[in-house]
Chains A and B, each alone.
Chain A
Amino acid sequence: MSNGPSRAEHYPGPLHNPPVKGGEARKHHAPHAHHPKLQHHFDSMEQQLDASILGMWVFLVTEIMFFGGLFMAYLMYRWANPDAFQEASAHLDKTWGMINTLVLIVSSLTMAMAVRSAQTSAKPKTQVMWLVLTMVFGTAFLGVKYIEYSDKFAHHLVPGPNFQWPGQYASGAEIFYSLYFCMTGLHAVHMIIGLGIMTVIAVMAWRGKFDAHYFTPVEVGGLYWHFVDIVWIFLFPLLYLIGAHYGAGH
């Protein structure tokens, strides 16, 4: 094996998963069997998988910085307008927010099952089932978001010339809703991209492309999906829950 010196002789690399059956299989078969999915510039399947996983982690770091700009803006404006943010938050629907949080957490579970089913060479049907379930939950999330957005449009809570605020902090509330739409909108765009990725992966899984020797796309797609879920885990309390004790709310 002519691998880089940075890696130990055996998988797990620094960013490994907990050992699974698939990991063992990789170790024995990958280096010498010229897998059709091994690209010419890699020496082995493990090197290829390692590179892809590290690449996705680095990409997720850029995503954190991307969302980070918005979280910074949130932090500053909430610090400047604490009451307005509470008042504005009270107008978001906590029930739908809660339902969507649960939907995403369950979708993370089904995604993890999809990755595992590929790593353990489960039947293509099983892999596809977990992937489709993940997509169903993702779509359900976007459906709820659609209901919520329509409600905001109907109540003139969309920032811009038509914004109308029933409470006392109109200016701060408008900033809150600007951030609400930017943050959840950007998150929704990531969900839609995620669904696109899942579709491609599901088609590949249906054709039986994934087994214990090669499952890079499922693994890497899974990392992306979990990241998008985690962003929501931060968005939900910061947007929906800070107004929980404000006035009457609804």
Chain B
Amino acid sequence: METPSYLNDGHGLKSWLLTKDHKRIALLYLISITAFFIMGGLFAMFVRLELLTPAGDLLNAETYNKMFTMHGVVMVFFFLIPSIPAVLGNFLIPIMIGAKDLAFPRINLLSWYIYILGGLFTFVAALSGGVDTGWTFYTPYSTAAANSHVILAALGVFITGFSSILTGLNFIVTVHRMRAPGLTWFRLPLFVWAHYATSLIMILGTPVIAITVLLVAAERALHMGIFDPALGGDPVLFQHLFWFYSHPAVYIMILPAMGVISEIVQTFARKNIFGYSFVAFSSLAIAIIGFLVWGHHLFVAGQSVYAGLIFSFISFLVAIPSAIKVFNWTATIYKGSVSLDSPMLYAFGFIGLFTIGGLTGLFLSTMGLDIHMHDTYFVVAHFHYIMVGGAIMGYLGGLHYWWPKITGRIYSEFWAKIAAGLVFVGFNLTFFPQFIAGYLGMPRRYHEYPPELQVWNVMSSAGASILAVGYALPLVYLVYSLFAGERSPADPWGSKGLEWEIPSPPPTANFEVTPIVTHGTHQYAPSKEVGIV
């Protein structure tokens, strides 16, 4: 009946739960991160509902604290960090490099189980009353004062970190050791470069957060003095260790999205990327510089002014590789033959919103300005422009772009365009007013605020409801396409690249014969760079 593919190679729950096929594991991740996305979204809904009015009328302060904490923990550790790498990266990297699978298929499956185990801890923590420390778990509040399930949530973060480490390890070894003949580093799709840089952050940063939350749990459970000043410890050390991971973690979220955008922009502008090697190296530059900027979270934490100056300067430097990407995408689109299919709409959304998110980051890395804006809604708006306007736009764009490849079905382009529009409008209405509210002095993490700030908060809550519809729509039409969607040809977009040369959905072994690669991807027209390669 159907042509053999990874989807019908084995039926039943067992064939999925014990699979070692990277494509099936990607789908396991897709389903589970979607569940966590909905969970995190519900927590956000309560936050936005509470902030509709200046008085704390819907939730009391303690419940509100738990809501924004759980929103942060779930969205950061269980949705954003695994989103693109574990779903799209898992599915595409072996195919893009002409391999049959990742280097360690069993470890790949293990990483999903570890993720689920960590998720269970967090889920139990949420059900049994939640955590109120903020997703940052700052000490000494988290170890000495907080009266909530800190240890459960910390262990959830600790465990899921190993899933991230194993994914990064698998990608690095795969890219080094499994490339098809002729696929040199500078012929790799930029999606692979972005994931390679992301994997470096995953393996270098994640262990540090692991040991840090382990120490928090030890201090809380055994009263060992590590961070609590009452026990001789230093709470600022916690902040250093925490942000050493958690700042680069932002790049774990945004770099894969940048890889997605690089692919989409080339396909829908019908041009190969402007300045391939600059875009490739800017991924590495972001990963490396990203490790040296964590101190900008500590400008008001009693850090030395000189350290602050250096961290401020290095934070500015991150803007350079980020800007290189934005300029090169723009230059790629320039005079391209642009078609506005839904993935491209998300790409346009990404480029604009990421630019705003990045530029407001410069405001915050300016020490004097940061004193004014620290812990205000300006910061909240800034990082949501990066994480939601950037990372989730990239994720949705990528999901739409590769959906025909993953499922073999075409979704409704009409509804996809409407959803992309709603997400863009809803997002801006939600988060742009927060810049203003924050600048006017609205602090983050309070369930009450002065009445004069209500107008901005009403706009924000209204935008959030539009955003929710924009996020719910794909859930409907993408799932619908599985049953009633038209079957997709191997290359529905007229794109170039190894993943489009094999059938949709791909066969279990990806390639019948190992491909031999003679040029880079997306060679729509000859260019100077091709001559050099």
A residues at B contact (CB < 8 Å): 2-7, 39-41, 43, 47, 50-51, 54-55, 58-59, 61-63, 65-70, 72-73, 76-77, 80-81, 159-161, 171-172, 174-175, 178-179, 181-182, 186
Chain A residues within 8 Å of B101, by CB = 40-41
> Is there an interface contact between B207 and A72, defined as CB atoms closer than 8 Å?
no
Further pairs besides A43-B514, A65-B208, A182-B218: 8, Cβ < 8 Å: A2-B516, A39-B105, A40-B101, A55-B170, A62-B206, A69-B208, A161-B223, A171-B225
Query: Which residues of B (368-411) have their CB < 8 Å from a CB of A?
Result: none
> Is there an interface contact between B182 and A5, defined as CB atoms closer than 8 Å?
yes
Q: Does B165 contact A (CB under 8 A)?
A: yes
Count of CB-CB pairs between chains A and B under 8 Å: 135
Q: Which of B79-87, B189-197, B226-234, B314-322 contacts A (4 or more CB under 8 A)?
A: B226-234
> Is there an interface contact between B205 and A65, defined as CB atoms closer than 8 Å?
yes
Chain A residues within 8 Å of B173, by CB = 51, 54-55, 58
Chain B 417-441 interface mask (CB, 8 Å, partner A; 1/0): 0000000000000000000000000
Q: Top 10 nearest A-B pairs by Cβ distance?
A: A69-B211, A66-B207, A4-B179, A65-B207, A171-B232, A41-B101, A41-B100, A178-B224, A51-B103, A51-B177
The residue on B at minimum CB distance from A59 is B169
25 interchain pairs (CB within 8 A)?
A2-B181, A4-B176, A4-B180, A5-B182, A6-B185, A40-B509, A41-B101, A51-B177, A51-B178, A55-B103, A58-B173, A62-B169, A65-B206, A68-B208, A69-B207, A69-B241, A72-B241, A76-B237, A77-B234, A159-B224, A159-B225, A159-B231, A175-B226, A179-B226, A186-B211
Cα–Cα, bound, A13→B136 (Å): 42
Cα–Cα, bound, A242→B181 (Å): 54
Q: Does B364 contact A (CB under 8 A)?
A: no
> Is there an interface contact between B225 and A58, defined as CB atoms closer than 8 Å?
no
> Is there an interface contact between A7 and B177, defined as CB atoms closer than 8 Å?
yes
> Is there an interface contact between A40 and B225, defined as CB atoms closer than 8 Å?
no
* Closest Cβ–Cβ distance, residue B227 to chain A (whole Å): 9
Cα–Cα, bound, A40→B101 (Å): 9
Cα–Cα, bound, A1→B204 (Å): 33
Q: Does B478 contact A (CB under 8 A)?
A: no
Q: Does B262 contact A (CB under 8 A)?
A: no
Q: Does B203 contact A (CB under 8 A)?
A: yes
Chain A residues within 8 Å of B102, by CB = 41
Chain B: how many interface residues by the 8 Å CB criterion? 49
B residues at A contact (CB < 8 Å): 99-105, 107, 165, 169-170, 172-173, 176-185, 203-208, 210-212, 215, 218, 222-226, 231-234, 237, 240-241, 509, 514, 516
* Closest Cβ–Cβ distance, residue A44 to chain B (whole Å): 11
* Closest Cβ–Cβ distance, residue A43 to chain B (whole Å): 7
> Is there an interface contact between B222 and A68, defined as CB atoms closer than 8 Å?
no
Partner of B210, one of A66, A72, A182: A66
Chain A residues within 8 Å of B211, by CB = 66-70, 186
Cα–Cα, bound, A77→B206 (Å): 23
Cα–Cα, bound, A3→B183 (Å): 10
Cα–Cα, bound, A69→B264 (Å): 39
Chain B residues within 8 Å of A65, by CB = 203-208
Chain A residues within 8 Å of B170, by CB = 55
Chain B residues within 8 Å of A80, by CB = 234
The residue on A at minimum CB distance from B185 is A6
Chain A residues within 8 Å of B184, by CB = 5
Cα–Cα, bound, A43→B513 (Å): 12
Cα–Cα, bound, A43→B103 (Å): 11
> Is there an interface contact between A62 and B182, defined as CB atoms closer than 8 Å?
no
Q: Knowing A5-B179, A65-B207, A73-B237 touch, does A174 contact B231 (C-beta < 8 A)?
A: yes
Cα–Cα, bound, A41→B102 (Å): 8
* Closest Cβ–Cβ distance, residue B498 to chain A (whole Å): 14
